[in-house]
Amino acid sequence: MTTTATRPFTGRPAAQPGTRTAPTPGWFRGIGPIGRAVAIILIAVYCLAPFYWMIVSSFRRSTDIFQNTLLPTTWSLESYRQVFDGSTMFGQAMLNSLIVASTTTAFALVFGIFAAYAIARLNFRFKTVVLAVIIGTSMFPGISVVVPLLRLFSDIGWINTYQAMIVPSLSFAIPLAVWNLTTFMKQLPYELEQAAMIDGCTKWQAFRLVLLPLAAPGIFTTAILTFIHSWNEFIIALSMVNDPAIQTATVAISKFTGASDFQAPYGAQMAAGVLVTIPLVIVVLIFQRRIVEGLTSGANK
Amino acid sequence: MSISTTQRPGQRTTPPRKTGRLDLGEGRRAALLLSPTFLVLALVVLYPLLSAFHQSLFSSQSGLDADGFVVEGDAFVGLGNYVQIFAGADAARFYNALWNTTFFTFTTVTLEVIIGIAMAVAMNRAFRGRALLRASILVPWAIPTAVSGLLWRWMFQADGIVNTLTNQQVLWTAEGFAAQAAVIVAEVWKTAPFIGLLVLAGMQIIPEEVYEAAKLDGANAWRQFVAITLPLVRPALLVAVLFRLLDSLRMFDLPFVLIGPRKSSVETLSILAWDESNQLQYGTASAFSIILLLYVAVIAYVFITILGADVVGEKKPKPVRARRRSAEPAATDVTRSEPTQTKVTR
């Protein structure tokens, strides 16, 4: 009773150890703090071990790529050299990914801010329907968008262009942006806008000068989430583009055959994978608090 | 001063004096602000939907017909493509893909929910390095699916790390059940932490007093978990599961990269439709994508109506109020704090 800041699994010390085998609070209490530490380490290993293996493998020489030691016996940048040896155009693919993902994000944000403002701050009929429709569109399977648009884009000569990847990407980017931004904007106090309008601002000025700066953190979070989703996009880029000079990094990496055909260049694949992932991991490390906030705010309104 | 206080209770409805005029203005402004979004969505979602349905009624024929003439272009076949899919020569391939899609969806989402909840329970307490753990839990989520496919393909090699660690000689990336297991493992690895994150966020808004009260009433930890934690994270969990279900029904990247296209044991509906369109069979491909879309829609509908997944955030008070009795006195704190939140959402 003395511990007030308790959570479910830290109740009475006299637990019934071993009565439950599932990872329940009771089970947790039974195993105590050491068990909990083990569980937390297990989670970290679960999440990081494959990623670690990708990094380690990328630093092995191609001759000892099948070694299973925890660290490379001989560190080597051979795989990275192979990635950029010119035959794969991987640098170009990274640049393409950057262009497509940032353009998609920019468009989604602009459209999303207006739509979210309307949904979060204005009164109009069918608001629920409007939000439901926008969220509903994000449930569309990518392939249902890709097949018809592939034909349309072939007809108008858009195959192997950036816009052929950017426009379909908006089908998931805009709903994502609208949903996130709506949640953020709903949380801002109404009094501030009202005060600004009492002071003589128009509704537009109140939006631009008061609401938008306040929503900036939310907009930033939405930008990160949208960018990550666009950067990771695969099926649209795979279908709309077959020219290696235009394709994005995720597609380039899946088609990675390297210089030698007789054996898949696993080292180079891992090195390329690290290069595609590292920017995201850095973003995640820096902005993890915001990302978690953005990811969970939708589900826990 | 007095203005702000009197407006407060009715802040979501406009001040009564100007209701009519303001509503009209706001309605118009809202329409104006929403129109760009709806214009783009019409182009990238509505048009494809209609076009896919239209194309699914045609069959592209480039070859010799029954009389030996060369036929090019599309012929109207009505629902012929659908008949072909459900009962034609290649029907087995469709049913296989349908089964794979369903099998992957339900196994992965079930495993993800179990592992995700376990992770959330383990993390639901302040400890040193919690921020670090949270960052590491985001890593699988942030890795592009295509890269994770490659990564697992590498780990599942015949003489790769998985076989070494488990001391086995399984050909994971060939065909058969091993390939399916490989896809499931890779998918669960990537998305279980995400569910854990959402459940954890749901757990952290449960007030301590609820547990205190339950403890006073003699509920043990397991009872507390079942009677308080699970019901109160249910709304968050339902939304997360719904999105995972829909995501997994359209699974494409992972089997495509990890095992490869045209492998019957891991071919999903998305891969099948993609393969058809790749061979310029737009009619059949469209029919496949329409079928997949209907499947997704049915699952979403069932989930939202029967289980009450609250995606839009409109009916929030209901599930909590219904649970007031089971969550003991202090739970009223949860419900009491609710109206202030929902007021904003309307």
- For residues A105 and A231, membership in a common domain is answered with yes
Instruction: Return the top range by mean pLDDT from A61-75, A234-248, B50-64.
Output: A234-248
- CA nearest B292: which of A141, A145, A168? A141
Chain centroid to CA B218: how far?
38
**B171 reaches A (C-beta below 8 A):** no
**A 140-159 residues inside an 8 A Cβ radius of B:** 140-152
User: Which residue of chain A has the CA closest to B149?
Assistant: A254
Query: Does residue B193 fall inside a structural domain?
Result: yes
Least confident of A51-60, B57-66, B259-268: B57-66
% residues pLDDT > 90 (chain B): 24
Amino acid, single-letter form, for residue B270: S
Query: Does residue A63 fall inside a structural domain?
Result: no
Residue B49, both tokens: 């939907």
Which chain B residues contact residue A132 at CB under 8 A? 311-312
**CATH number of residue B278's parent domain:** 1.10.3720.10
User: Which residue of chain A has the CA closest to B243?
Assistant: A139
**pLDDT at residue A144, as a whole number:** 87
Decide if pLDDT at A153 tops 60: yes
**pLDDT at residue B63, as a whole number:** 57
Name which of A123, A291, A293 to mutate to probe chain B: the one with the most chain B Cβ atoms within 10 A of its Cβ. Answer: A123
Task: Answer for the pair B315, B306: CB distance below 8 angstroms, yes or no.
Answer: no
- For residues A161 and A209, membership in a common domain is answered with yes
Average pLDDT, stretch A284-293? Answer: 84
pLDDT digits (tens, 9 = 90+) for B71-96: 566 778 878 888 888 888 888 889 99
**A 260-289 residues inside an 8 A Cβ radius of B:** 266, 269-270, 273, 276-277, 280-281, 283-285, 288-289
Instruction: Return the top range by mean pLDDT from A21-35, A129-143, B135-149.
Output: B135-149
Query: Is there a contact between B45 and A145 if contact means CB atoms under 8 Å apart?
Result: yes
Decide if pLDDT at B62 tops 70: no
- For residues A109 and A240, membership in a common domain is answered with yes
**pLDDT at residue A78, as a whole number:** 83
Which chain B residues contact residue A145 at CB under 8 A? 44-45, 48
Query: Does residue B98 fall inside a structural domain?
Result: yes
User: Which residue of chain A has the CA closest to B239?
Assistant: A299
**pLDDT at residue B197, as a whole number:** 87
pLDDT digits (tens, 9 = 90+) for B283-323: 889 999 999 999 999 998 888 888 776 666 655 444 443 44
Query: Is there a contact between A299 and B246 if contact means CB atoms under 8 Å apart?
Result: no
∠ Cα A274 A280 A282 (to 5°):
95
- CA nearest A250: which of A279, A283, A221? A279
- For residues A248 and A158, membership in a common domain is answered with yes
Task: Answer for the pair A114, B34: CB distance below 8 angstroms, yes or no.
Answer: yes
- For residues A88 and A172, membership in a common domain is answered with yes
**pLDDT at residue A294, as a whole number:** 82
**A 54-93 residues inside an 8 A Cβ radius of B:** 54, 57, 66, 68
Query: Is there a contact between B26 and A187 if contact means CB atoms under 8 Å apart?
Result: no
- For residues A54 and A91, membership in a common domain is answered with no
Looking at this predicted complex, what is its ipTM? 0.83
Query: Does residue A283 fall inside a structural domain?
Result: yes
Which chain A residues contact residue B205 at CB under 8 A? 300
Residue B171, both tokens: 């050909």
Query: Is there a contact between B142 and A284 if contact means CB atoms under 8 Å apart?
Result: yes
Decide if pLDDT at B233 tops 60: yes
User: Which residue of chain B has the CA closest to A227?
Assistant: B142
**B201 reaches A (C-beta below 8 A):** yes
Domain count, chain B: 1
Measured distance CA(B332)–CA(B16) in Å, rounded: 32
- For residues A7 and A103, membership in a common domain is answered with no
Comparison of pLDDT for A282 and B221, the residue scoring more: A282
Instruction: Quote the minimal CA–CA distance from B227 to chain A in Å.
Output: 11
**pLDDT at residue B339, as a whole number:** 36
Query: Does residue A200 fall inside a structural domain?
Result: yes
Residue A219, both tokens: 């907009």
User: Which residue of chain B has the CA closest to A299?
Assistant: B236
pLDDT digits (tens, 9 = 90+) for A28-59: 444 567 777 888 888 889 999 999 999 998 89
This prediction's pTM: 0.82
**B300 reaches A (C-beta below 8 A):** yes
Instruction: Quote the minimal CA–CA distance from B110 to chain A in Å.
Output: 15
Query: Does residue A76 fall inside a structural domain?
Result: no
Range of the domain at B204: 70-345
Domain count, chain A: 2
Query: Does residue B26 fall inside a structural domain?
Result: no
Which chain B residues contact residue A12 at CB under 8 A? 220
- For residues A234 and A293, membership in a common domain is answered with yes
**pLDDT at residue B24, as a whole number:** 54
Query: Is there a contact between A147 and B55 if contact means CB atoms under 8 Å apart?
Result: yes
Instruction: State whether residue B302 is helix, strand or coil.
Output: helix
Query: Does residue A224 fall inside a structural domain?
Result: yes
The beta-carbon neighbor of A281 closest among B14, B43, B142 is B142
User: Which residue of chain B has the CA closest to A151?
Assistant: B282
Decide if pLDDT at B331 tops 50: no
**CATH number of residue A276's parent domain:** 1.10.3720.10
- What confidence category does residue A86 fall into, taking pLDDT thresholds of 50, 70 and 90? low
Query: Does residue A184 fall inside a structural domain?
Result: yes
The mean of the pLDDT values for chain A is 81
**B156 reaches A (C-beta below 8 A):** no
**pLDDT at residue B101, as a whole number:** 94
Query: Does residue A73 fall inside a structural domain?
Result: no
- For residues A5 and A117, membership in a common domain is answered with no
**A2 reaches B (C-beta below 8 A):** no
Query: Is there a contact between A114 and B221 if contact means CB atoms under 8 Å apart?
Result: no
The beta-carbon neighbor of B52 closest among A7, A144, A228 is A144
Range of the domain at A129: 83-297
- For residues A161 and A41, membership in a common domain is answered with no
- How crowded is residue A194: how many other Cβ atoms within 10 Å of its Cβ? 19
Q: Which helix (H) or strand (E) holds A281?
A: helix A266-297
pLDDT digits (tens, 9 = 90+) for A167-225: 999 999 999 999 889 988 888 888 888 888 888 888 888 888 888 888 888 899 999 99
User: Which residue of chain B has the CA closest to A149?
Assistant: B48
Average pLDDT, stretch B92-110? Answer: 93
Query: Is there a contact between A114 and B26 if contact means CB atoms under 8 Å apart?
Result: no
Query: Does residue A71 fall inside a structural domain?
Result: no
- For residues A19 and A119, membership in a common domain is answered with no
Average pLDDT, stretch B123-132? Answer: 77
**pLDDT at residue A300, as a whole number:** 52
Least confident of A4-8, B35-39, B59-63, B173-177: A4-8
Max intra-chain CA distance, chain A: 74
- For residues A30 and A176, membership in a common domain is answered with no
Least confident of A7-11, A211-215, A282-286, B74-78: A7-11
**pLDDT at residue B236, as a whole number:** 83
Average pLDDT, stretch A59-88? Answer: 81
- CA nearest B320: which of B333, B307, B303? B333
